[in-house]
Structure 1
């Protein structure tokens, strides 16, 4: 018999709809029920492609005896962290403060006022490695609630008070300058893994936002060390097991520091961010490898994550079915030498094993290996044959919900990649996703635009968008406007960014993750640090700054500068965790430059100037294209043709260069670093 989750729109919650646990969604009724029954609340937070979330569910939530105990002694709430990032953020902060670490599944016990008093992540079905079993945890919490209620209440109130009292005062602290960015670069150099590339040790995550900062810093200052770290890290990842050597696209992270064995789930946000990074790397270096990876990652997103409505699904699972009827992580992706020979024949199979680093001992589990590309390139025919064979295997599950923020990131990546490499189909796919966000996620009915966090099957979900949704969708619209020359996308971005200023901004320009009129939790979440994707704080700063460059809006420029105070404070101390904020600071120090390309429709000279503008490496430049004196973009106003020919105008702040009709001259104007000025 299904529980309450059968009415959910989240694929993750629907996975638990047949559990014997009497799950609630996060809703007032759950807390009212806990108060009525005088029992604590158990909150379980996870997401659909989380391997250990599935393990905990199978071991405990599907167990009738455990479920009966949970139902008798607790009100049990299940939350999809991707659907409710605000709930996840608040309680993850408590978990990390109490235990020194966090992760998913997240397990939190709280009172009926939402005040937490005991935390954890995954708990095994039996005591193991010093960890109590899940049943022991349940019984211990239940006993404390019954026998030491006053003590439990004091702990809960103290934790809730501590969380509520935390607020970041970095807004308005002044914008980061050359000193802060130089210190950030020095900090990254110290953390850089010279041998295996990337930053830090195992597990090793793709440093997408840091790579964008390094590329922009090189473009602005000419710092070769920054480019070398970015380029070498991109090559190491592209040749490692974290990259799907057959189908394209990146896994979530590498479990080792050598990029050999990934955690196999594939997330939309990782692939959108990395697609853009590799396209930008190619823009700087002309690397064939960077071009191939950018295009393959874009094609992966379209082929495997695009939904029938034109948006992009959240993730592919790490696990899939095995031929023996089991279910295992990585089963879809790994190979043995014998499997290669079976598909390719002895000669090609042996050669493929050498090229892809497949050994008899295996690099993963049970003698299987993750495909890598340690050196050189693989024969395209062999790759195609192996990919065709792999398509016959049981596929990993897909989380089909559309997350607004992550689709904004995908729109930006697909639009730019399509423009750079003459792939109008990718630009069209980006446009379709943007249309979906406007049509389904954006509500214009009352009080300005409201953005829904998620949708599924063309229907908006019930939860309000958070700061990263407004910021990343605006970023995607601005990228699409620059590529396609449609001013409506600039207008839609402006609607969203006005809401950021009005409903997400606090004193001195500090930003909050939720709107001022959002559901009240025990703390209003506020996190400026990048995690797997840019924080809403730094993403908003970037979109506000770019919009201001397009429109000349002082209000948006001031809001961007206020938000960048956190980068001034944290950039020198924790550069790995505020990479996108550092990238935005690079754009601020560069201007950012404003580029207007004017020409008649269909004019090849105008198209060449437009592409040259898009390929310019000036950090965060605003690019507008259209008819002379056009109304689509403010940057086009009072911009005529030059002697009847298409022309490009480049400005920085209040200073404008002479317009040019020459594409090579425009390229120079947009590639000169500050050292040459």
Structure 2
């Protein structure tokens, strides 16, 4: 249409010539328009998806300020939207300035928060050695609460609402991704990550117990369960944990991983006895340690 002027001239120089005109138009608009209302609420799930993406992007594009901003947002989620009740973590779904955290968290809030904390844990040691353990513990608390409060004891999968939360009619489950991933799909990612990091069989068992629900959907409407299928694929291939001896610079490893095909990887500095700088674990199998970064990359591509 003609209501939104657009520059279609191929010569970028024309745009430069119009700079003064654009400045006048902007000044007029700002002086005369009625600004739209601003929704200031902070949504837990949406922010956690951004945290996950920003943490990965900050690492692979070597933009530490992005990773730091992701960490700051993750700390806000933990400090302002979680609380301890009866020894377990409870998460709120939304935060309002002036009134604080509101609305009991849904399954996707817990699952995506766990994904966000795991994303920070996977790369934060580049900024602060050993900090990954803190964010891994937070992810574990989110997942443990999800397994406790959302599990269906009689059938496959996890409910959308917690067992002690009021629902209009009956508790339901969400399997399909929409504008955002379903809670059951996001939970698969969190479970697979924690299994790779801890080796605790309960996370692998919970993941595998949920998979049959996606089998039929995968054959008929694969695009509708894409996030779950990604989780299954990365879990089957094996999530990599690279243990780096304390004191070893992570810069060379960061450059090498950024140049290699993407794979879900956790980097952790360790104070444990390690004969060489790097040791790669795939799933629960740890390979011999090495001082050669190219060997690490080769294992990840194998």
Tell me the TM-score normalised to structure 1 length: 0.39
Contact 1:590 1:619 survives alignment (8 Å): no
Match of 2:79 in 1: 439
Q: Give 1:493's match in structure 2, choosing from 131, 139, 142.
A: 139
Hey, what's the Cα distance between the residues in 2 that align with 1:553 and 1:614?
29
Contact 2:260 2:297 survives alignment (8 Å): yes
Q: Give 2:223's match in structure 1, choosing from 576, 580, 588.
A: 576
TM-fit CA distance, 1:660? 2.3
Summarize deviations over 1:531-572 as a string: whole Å, max 9, x none.
001100100111111111111111111112222222222111
Q: Please say if 1:354 is aligned against 2:5.
A: no
Match of 1:596 in 2: 243
Summarize deviations over 1:627-666 as a string: whole Å, max 9, x none.
431xxxxxxxx5x152xxxx22122245333322222222
Match of 1:520 in 2: 167
Q: 1:588–1:391: structure 2 CA closer, same or farther, 3 Å change rule?
A: farther
Hey, what's the Cα distance between the residues in 2 that align with 1:567 and 1:619?
23
TM-fit CA distance, 1:610? 4.5
Contact 2:114 2:142 survives alignment (8 Å): yes
Hey, what's the Cα distance between the residues in 2 that align with 1:469 and 1:437?
11
Match of 1:538 in 2: 185
Hey, what's the Cα distance between the residues in 2 that align with 1:533 and 1:355?
37
Alignment of structure 1 residues 552-563 onto 2, 5 Å: 552-563=199-210
Q: How large is the Cα RMSD of the aligned pairs?
A: 2.8
Hey, what's the Cα distance between the residues in 2 that align with 1:522 and 1:488?
39
Contact 1:415 1:479 survives alignment (8 Å): yes
Match of 2:110 in 1: 470
Q: Which has the larger radius of gyration?
A: 1
Q: Give 1:457's match in structure 2, choosing from 97, 100, 111.
A: 97
Summarize deviations over 1:554-594 as a string: whole Å, max 9, x none.
11111122222222221111011111011001112102233
Hey, what's the Cα distance between the residues in 1 that align with 2:150 and 2:193?
18
Q: Please say if 1:410 is aligned against 2:50.
A: yes
Hey, what's the Cα distance between the residues in 2 that align with 1:479 and 1:615?
19
Q: Give 1:649's match in structure 2, choosing from 257, 268, 279.
A: 279
Tell me the TM-score normalised to structure 2 length: 0.84
Q: Please say if 1:625 is aligned against 2:294.
A: no
TM-fit CA distance, 1:456? 1.6
Q: 1:653–1:412: structure 2 CA closer, same or farther, 3 Å change rule?
A: closer
**Count of aligned residue pairs for this structure pair:** 286
Q: 1:463–1:391: structure 2 CA closer, same or farther, 3 Å change rule?
A: farther
TM-fit CA distance, 1:459? 4.1
The DSSP-based 3-state class of the residue aligned with 1:624 is strand
Match of 1:208 in 2: none
Flag structure 1 segments of 5+ consecutive residues without an equivalent. 1-260, 262-330, 338-351, 357-377, 630-637, 673-677
The DSSP-based 3-state class of the residue aligned with 2:241 is strand
Q: 1:464–1:569: structure 2 CA closer, same or farther, 3 Å change rule?
A: same
Match of 1:665 in 2: 295
Hey, what's the Cα distance between the residues in 1 that align with 2:98 and 2:114?
20
Q: Please say if 1:502 is aligned against 2:141.
A: no
The DSSP-based 3-state class of the residue aligned with 2:9 is helix
TM-fit CA distance, 1:616? 5.3
Contact 2:185 2:228 survives alignment (8 Å): yes
Hey, what's the Cα distance between the residues in 2 that align with 1:465 and 1:563?
21
Alignment of structure 1 residues 191-210 onto 2, 5 Å: none
Hey, what's the Cα distance between the residues in 1 that align with 2:222 and 2:271?
42
Hey, what's the Cα distance between the residues in 2 that align with 1:562 and 1:616?
33
The DSSP-based 3-state class of the residue aligned with 2:47 is helix
Alignment of structure 1 residues 16-415 onto 2, 5 Å: 335-337=4-6, 352-355=7-10, 389=23, 392=27, 393=29, 394=33, 396-415=36-55
The DSSP-based 3-state class of the residue aligned with 1:454 is strand
Flag structure 2 segments of 5+ consecutive residues without an equivalent. 126-130
Match of 2:197 in 1: 550
